[in-house]
Chains A and B, each alone.
Chain A
Amino acid sequence: MALKASELKVGDTYSECVVEDLKRTQIVQYAGASGDYNPLHTDEIFTTQVAKYPSVFAHGMLSMGMTGRMITNYVGDGRLKKFGVRFTSQVWPGDTLNATATVEEVTEEDGEMVVNLKVETTNQDGATVISGYACARVDP
């Protein structure tokens, strides 16, 4: 199941739909599990009336967490060495997100083979919500 350096090519991609029609309940689940109870994510009254956003929106870290699932499904368990993102647009209830990893480089680092990936997650309108990178150990 692990990736092999010898079989990877620059430009290879792997994609997953990481959420379809994001539910408010999933955002509540994430708040509970992560401990981030910012009402901007779960409290429609506060968010619309006080914070003046059109509705509650997902934690950036929920989108990053779901994007991480795509990466670990691709690179295998326990293989991830680095993962970083910028949150470029907010994610709203009802959004459908697709996450894609693109091979940028296969190289040797500290005596082991690694793959450097570009990571991008987009919504149903094609807007980028997460833009980042990951690095994972691969077999030779």
Chain B
Amino acid sequence: MAVSKFPVEASHIMMFARSVADDNQIYYDDEYAKKTEPGTIIAPPTFVQASAQFDPDYSLRPKVGAPWFGSGKEATGIKREGSGSGGGGGGGLHAEQHYEYHRHPKPGDILTGETKPGKTWEKEGRRSGKLVFSESITEYRDQNGELVVTARGVGVRTERPVDQ
């Protein structure tokens, strides 16, 4: 994932804070935020995840004219090759996420996100068969090239859906 322009906007911060049920007024009200220690609206801790909105190639967003794997008339919009036993459940899940804050993003920032692959490793899972882990590191920098947030994510592909 590479994001060449991630404008941090107050309304996006508000919507994001609502979605994680965080009613801290520092995410909603700039008059309130002026009286806080940061002195401005800042982004909640996991906000940079929403950089996906600004990644033109992000695969988990339906795109105009392209097939989408969610349901419509059929349970999935993708025609699968072969019998496909086990369905699409043995897909990717999020295993870990780590953030280091060099400072907290605020409205007006224009971030870029450059992602580099990290390590990959395998493990035999008790509830989902073979697990393949892969790490990626994203550096979010501001309009001055300064590092704002370093994000390290670990994804896992499972052989089959996780047993419940």
Contacts and interface: CB of A to CB of B under 8 A. Distances in A.
A82 B20 contact: no
B52 interface: yes
Contact of A37 (B20, B44, B62): B62
A29 B19 CA distance: 5
Contact of B46 (A29, A40, A65): A65
Q: How large is the interface on A (under 10, 10 to 19, 20 to 34, 35 or more residues)?
A: 35 or more
Q: How large is the interface on B (under 10, 10 to 19, 20 to 34, 35 or more residues)?
A: 35 or more
B interface majority secondary structure: loop
B94 A61 contact: yes
Contact of B94 (A19, A29, A37, A87): A87
Contacts of A64: 46, 97
Given A2-B37, A85-B96, A33 B16 contact: yes
Interface of A: 2, 18-19, 26, 29-30, 32-40, 43, 45-46, 49-54, 59-62, 64-66, 68-69, 71-73, 76-87, 90
Given A49-B87, A50-B71, A80-B45, 4 more contacts: A29-B19, A53-B89, A54-B164, A65-B16
